[in-house]
Amino acid sequence: MASATSRPPIRVAVTGAAGNIGYAAIFRLASGAVFGPDQPVALNLIEVGPGLDALKGVVMELEDAAFPLLADVVATGDLDAGFRDADWCLLIGAVPRKAGMERKDLLGINGRIFVGQGEAIGRSAKPGVRVLVVGNPCNTNALIALRAGKLRPENVFAMTRLDENRAKAMLAAKAGVHVSAVRRVGIWGNHSSTQFPAFAHATLGGRPATAAIPDHAWLRDTFVPAVQQRGAAVIKARGASSAASAANAALDTLRSLHFPTPEGDWHSVAVLSKGDYGVKPGILFGYPVRTKADGSWEIVQGLELDAFAREKVALTEQELLEERATAAEALGVAL
């Protein structure tokens, strides 16, 4: 397939491409919604088992969409073919937790998947490949892939953007402003019910959230748990986990890491901790991050964490340390 413009395509590998999130993500990737209207995109779509049959239909639909920017499509069950020459890997496919399954079982089952994927990315993707893990438990899966593939730590991310978007929507609704007026919401820690959506640094239409929302008990006791439990609330209402909003957040993350962050703002993503804000090194920890003009990124520095925030950060840090230990034991490797 020849592309409409002469720029080389950005090649994005997507696992779980025929699943709910994958299906919602790839058409927007192909349309130019992430990398812009002048940037061709190539898609490497990776599936397993029955997903491989469904993927044939997804490829037919991609053809039928006649995207001018879509330069190439590879559909495969082979990890090396799937990750070959990838600039970005979007790791969505994972085994969901089933009734009776312990967290340790899930970490073991998915851990093995992410060992294999990390190794294949290390062998077959471009050396500077960037990896975003969505499949849960995404922070620890990302750590496993990073270690297995000996990937560059600055290039491996786990998704906390859906939590940020949820938090922004809730703050906007409470204050009666449009969601686009909300900035500087950082999700700290794990993408789980221990995450900490830090409201103290947020602004609404330029005003501190704590001024725009004077009900600070609501911020602490209603807002924080509501963001933490939003995924469960969607499952209860929809009978299935968030998919379109999760795909949207994954694409927001790619865009925010690809383009410089607007002045005075930041975005949330989990990165390998090196001790910033006193968090133990060696876990994928959600932080507020800024992307620089040269494409590199930095953790936002100098934010004040009060006693409430420090307690929440410590809780989610503790959970990630435990997840790492459990996964290391289940896989029989050091992480």
Q: Which residue's CB is nearer to ligand NAX, number 19 or number 197?
A: 19
C-alpha separations of 143 from 22, 139, 167, 300, 304 in Å: 21, 6, 25, 21, 27
Least separation, in Å, of the C-beta of 91 and ligand NAX?
8
Which one of 178, 191, 201, 267 is the catalytic residue? 191
Q: Which residue's CB is nearer to ligand NAX, number 3 or number 242?
A: 242
Where on the chain is the footprint of ligand NAX (CB under 6 A)? 15-16, 18-22, 46-49, 51, 92-96, 113, 134-136, 138, 159, 162, 191, 241-243, 246
**Residue, CB closest to ligand NAX:** 19
Residue 287, strand partner residues: 269
Distance from the first to the final alpha carbon of the chain: 41
Q: Which residue's CB is nearer to ligand NAX, number 193 or number 241?
A: 241
Least separation, in Å, of the C-beta of 315 and ligand NAX?
19
- 161 close to 21: Cβ distance less than 8 angstroms: no
Q: At what angle do helices 20-31 and 50-65 cross, to 10 degrees?
A: 30
Q: Which residue's CB is nearer to ligand NAX, number 185 or number 213?
A: 185
Least separation, in Å, of the C-beta of 256 and ligand NAX?
15
Q: Which residue's CB is nearer to ligand NAX, number 52 or number 303?
A: 52
Catalytic (active site) residue 258: no
Contacts of 98 (CB under 8 A, 6+ apart): none
Residue where the block lists tokens 């890491």: 257
**The token pair that represents 332 in the structure block:** 């029989």
Least separation, in Å, of the C-beta of 192 and ligand NAX?
9
Least separation, in Å, of the C-beta of 76 and ligand NAX?
10
- 257 close to 297: Cβ distance less than 8 angstroms: yes
As a whole number of angstroms, the distance between CA 312 and CA 286 comes to 13
Nearest Cα to Cα of residue 71 among 145, 5, 13, 154: 5
Q: Which residue's CB is nearer to ligand NAX, number 113 or number 271?
A: 113
User: CA 179, 182, 319, 328: dihedral to nearest 10 degrees?
Assistant: 80
As a whole number of angstroms, the distance between CA 60 and CA 65 comes to 9
Least separation, in Å, of the C-beta of 178 and ligand NAX?
23
Task: Give, for 14, the enclosing helix (H) or strand (E).
Answer: strand 10-15
Residues with catalytic annotation? 191
